[in-house]
Structure 1
């Protein structure tokens, strides 16, 4: 089942989180005008054990600005308002899921599209091991304006976008703070960051190869010099303080199925 706390918001993070709000409530009602442009989203679900999560959509308003008090010097800062909503993906046929988003949200605040998150997550883990808990999602963070992409890490694209990143099962065995085994997805990036311009269609067709399973095993006790183990699909083990598996190394491995 979709769990909001699993989603890495990335471009949907509200930059106004620091400080105290001093503005009145903003009218977040959306009313797309008849002539608005719509962006079509399509996800090809790679497995019966995964599922697309609802689109995380953020609109921005420069009409209904809000004020907050800076936590640094007490000054009053005026900034745009944000409106984050979820739009469920609809299963069209087989493994194809679709949704559409209005570029102009309208309403009294004249909302316009700023950012969208889309992707997949495991919903069932039992086929890869006992007591595994489906973990965090992976996918794409799309910026539709400069406000959403201001961290400078977004790749600029023009026109329709078709992405087919590869993912592998990644089992994390937590032992120090919590005793739980998570099944998540390992890709070259958890979320691909892309700033889109003049786009009508977004297709996300992830590839999932479950023949290569990676494990991260925490030590049972926190001891100086004792590190977590990363076990690669070919059986090789790294325990030198490395935190993240080497995706390129995994991708090049030849593993007997």
Structure 2
């Protein structure tokens, strides 16, 4: 596949100084590929994948906080839409490890995930917030967003629990969002240097909805109030849900059934 990448991806090219050759990707026909598969629950949708390639040949000059110049690897970020596999709930995308071209691009990382397809099921004007994301790093570079929490050998299989989190913000411009509350905040971060297959299965517990409401007045002691699925209410200074509490409520409920 000379590059299903160049045909199906939308490339956002970074202008790299000091390198006048063609910056385009051109993976060899025999380049190894990494397959990313997402199992998408009915109420969710697969998000567009953000794929990062880096080059040690096509570099550019950046500046640190003191204004001192330093050399950085060149990079390209591509968008790739995962494709549904037949009538299944599996969505898949393939990406070449060797990006080829004059710059000898190499796959660095991929960001992907799931989101609510129809946020308004939780109320009028509700928008999707965050959560349900995964970042996988395939080299030794630090990603531009998120961080790495786990390092794995070989292929990567991820199965995580999530809960609907409906949040109202009253200060400033009013907004109401629904997010996926999980073990991480927005992204689960992994380093998988030798992976050739990445599988992600989010398990959404739709019957255990968490609600939160921010304070109407900004002053000391006014915190966001969280109402958990069992009716318990906490306003203890947290800005994100207590995932362990959500898990404990669900498991206790399920054990009684």
TM value normalised by structure 2 = 0.84
- How has the CA–CA distance of structure 1 residues 60 and 152 changed in structure 2, closer, same or farther, with 3 Å as cutoff? same
Secondary structure of residue in 2 paired with 1:109: coil
Secondary structure of residue in 2 paired with 1:205: strand
Report the Cα distance in structure 2 between the residues aligned to 1:136 and 1:227, rounded to whole angstroms: 20
Secondary structure of residue in 1 paired with 2:192: strand
Report the Cα distance in structure 2 between the residues aligned to 1:237 and 1:70, rounded to whole angstroms: 45
Whether the 8 Å contact between 1:39 and 1:200 is mirrored in structure 2 is yes
Report the Cα distance in structure 2 between the residues aligned to 1:55 and 1:22, rounded to whole angstroms: 27
- How has the CA–CA distance of structure 1 residues 43 and 78 changed in structure 2, closer, same or farther, with 3 Å as cutoff? same
Cα offsets for 1:86-118 (capped at 9, x unmatched)? 111111123111110100111111100001111
Q: Does 1:220 align with 2:213?
A: no
| 1:84-233 matches, cutoff 5 A | 84-93=77-86, 94-148=88-142, 153-189=148-184, 190-233=186-229
Q: More displaced, 177-186 or 63-72? A: 63-72
- How has the CA–CA distance of structure 1 residues 131 and 76 changed in structure 2, closer, same or farther, with 3 Å as cutoff? closer
Q: More displaced, 174-183 or 145-154? A: 145-154
Whether the 8 Å contact between 1:58 and 1:114 is mirrored in structure 2 is yes
Q: More displaced, 85-94 or 96-105? A: 85-94
Report the Cα distance in structure 2 between the residues aligned to 1:36 and 1:116, rounded to whole angstroms: 17
Unmatched segments (≥5 aa) in structure 2 = 1-13
Whether the 8 Å contact between 2:99 and 2:105 is mirrored in structure 1 is yes
